Structure 1
Amino acid sequence: MVNSINGDDQQDGSYSGDEVQASHARAKRRIVALELELDTLKASSKKPRQSHTTVNRGRAIRRLVSLYNNVEDLIAEYDRRQEFATGNAERESDSEEIELTHDQHRLYSSFEELLEFLPWLKKEILHSEADEFDDICKQLRKGADGARGDDTANLKPEIVVWLTDLFHPVEPPLRTTTKDDRGLVHDVTGRLICPAEYNWDLQSVRDKVRDRDALHLVTAHSWPLFLYQNFTFDPTDAEQGLFRSSLLVKAFKFLFTSPSSARDIEEDSQEVPPRRRSSKYKNATKNHVAAILGLKSVTPRSIAYTAVQVRFALSSVGCWRNVDGDFNYEQFYNAIIDFFEVVPGKAAKKRVEALVSWWDRMVFGKNRQIVLPAIVIEKSSVARLMAQRLEKEIPSPSP
Structure 2
Amino acid sequence: MKTDALVHHGRHFGRTVQLFSNFNNLLREGILQEERMQAHDLDIDELQDQERKDHEVFIKLIRISPFLIDRLFSPDRTNEDILYSADALTRGASGARADDLKTMKSAVIDWITPEGGVIIPPLLRNVKTGRGFYHESTRAYLCPTDFDWSDPTVKAGLRSGQLVMTGLHWSKFLYKGLQVNPANAWDGLFRSKIMVLAYKHVFISPSAASGESRATRAGNAQIHGMGSVTPASLAYVATLLRFSLSHWNIFNRNDKQADSERFYGSILEFLEDPQEDTEVADLLRWWNG
Q: Do Structure 1 and Structure 2 share a fold, with TM-score over 0.5?
A: yes
Aligned to 2:121: 172
Structure 1 pair 194–264 and aligned structure 2 pair: CA distance change class (3 A)? same
1:356 correspondence with 2:284: yes
Alignment of 1:238-249 (within 5 A): 238-249=185-196
Q: Which residue of 2 aligns with 1:223?
A: 170
How far has the Cα of 1:222 moved from its partner? 1.9
2:101 to 152, 159, 184: 152
Task: Structure 1: state its 5+ residue gaps.
Answer: 1-48, 89-96, 268-283, 362-399
Deviations 1:97-137 (A, max 9, x none): 86444xx4443232222123222222222114331232122
- The aligned counterpart of 2:4 is 52
Question: Which whole-Å CA distance do the structure 2 matches of 1:121 and 1:83 have between them?
Answer: 15
Of the structure 1 ranges 302-311 and 79-88, higher mean CA displacement relative to structure 2 is found in 79-88
The whole-number CA distance in structure 2 between the counterparts of 1:116 and 1:98 is: 20
Distance 2:184 2:218 in 1: 40
Partner residue of 1:255? 202
| 2:43 paired residue number | none
Superposition RMSD in Å? 2.7
Question: 2:37 aligned with 1:85, yes or no?
Answer: yes
Amino acid at match of 1:210: R
**Are 1:195 and 2:195 matched, yes or no?**
no
**Equivalent pair of 2:17/2:232 in contact (CA under 8 Å):** yes
Contact persistence 1:193–1:311 (CA under 8 A): yes
Asked if residue 125 in structure 1 is aligned to residue 77 in structure 2, the reply is no
The answer (yes or no) to whether the contact 1:246–1:266 under 8 Å persists in 2 is: no
Q: 1:73: how far off?
A: 2.6
User: Corresponding residue for 2:25?
Assistant: 73
Alpha-carbon distance in 2 for matches of 1:253, 1:158: 12
**How many Å separate the matches in 2 of 1:182 and 1:154?**
16
Query: How many residue pairs were aligned?
Result: 281
1:239 is aligned with what amino acid?
W
Structure 1 counterpart of 2:103, which letter? N
Correspondence for 1:275: none
* Residue 271 (structure 2) pairs with residue 340 (structure 1): yes
State the distance in 2 between where 1:106 and 1:82 align.
13
1:359: how far off? 0.9
* Partners of 1:69 and 1:98 in 2: CA distance: 21
CA distance in 1, matches of 2:235, 2:224: 17
Aligned to 1:349, what secondary structure does the other structure show?
A: helix
Q: Is the 8 A contact 1:197 1:235 kept in 2?
A: no
* Of 202, 211, 226, the match for 1:295: 226
1:237 maps onto 2:184 in alignment: yes
Aligned counterparts of 1:138 and 1:160: Cα–Cα separation in 2: 34
Percent identical among aligned pairs is: 31
Letter in 1 for 2:128: K
Structure of higher CA gyration radius: 1
CA distance in 2 between partners of 1:140 and 1:325 (Å): 25
CA contact (8 A) 2:178 2:192 kept: yes
Change in 2 beyond 3 A, CA 1:179/1:351? same
* AA aligned opposite 2:269: D
Q: TM-score, normalised by structure 2?
A: 0.87
CA contact (8 A) 2:11 2:93 kept: yes
Measure, in 1, the Cα distance between the counterparts of 2:137 and 2:254: 21
- Is contact 1:117–1:294 with CA below 8 Å preserved after alignment? no
Against the structure 1 CA distance between its residues 238 and 217, is the aligned structure 2 distance closer, same or farther, given a 3 Å change threshold?
Answer: farther
**1:276-306 CA distance string (max 9 Å, x none):** xxxxxxxx9x983211122111111111111
Work out the CA distance in 2 between the residues paired with 1:87 and 1:124: 20
- CA 1:125–1:178 in 2, change beyond 3 Å: closer, same or farther? same
Change (3 A) 1:235 1:327: farther
Matches within 5 A, 1:303-342: 303-322=234-253, 326-342=257-273
- Gap change, CA 1:301 and 1:61, over 3 Å in 2: same
Matches of 1:212 and 1:354 in 2, distance apart? Answer: 37
TM-score under structure 1 length normalisation: 0.64
- TM-fit CA distance, 1:236: 2.3
- Structure 1 distance, partners of 2:5, 2:47, is 38
Residue 64 of structure 1 corresponds to 16
Q: 3-state DSSP class of the match of 1:264? A: coil
Contact kept, 8 Å, 2:105 with 2:244, in 1: the verdict is: yes
CA drift of 1:83 comes to: 4.8
Q: Deviations over 1:166-191 (max 9, x none)?
A: 69432211110200111111122123
**C-alpha deviation, 1:310, in angstroms:** 0.4
Deviation at 1:220?
1.6
Residue deviations 1:58-85, cap 9 Å, x none? 2212111211113223223323433543
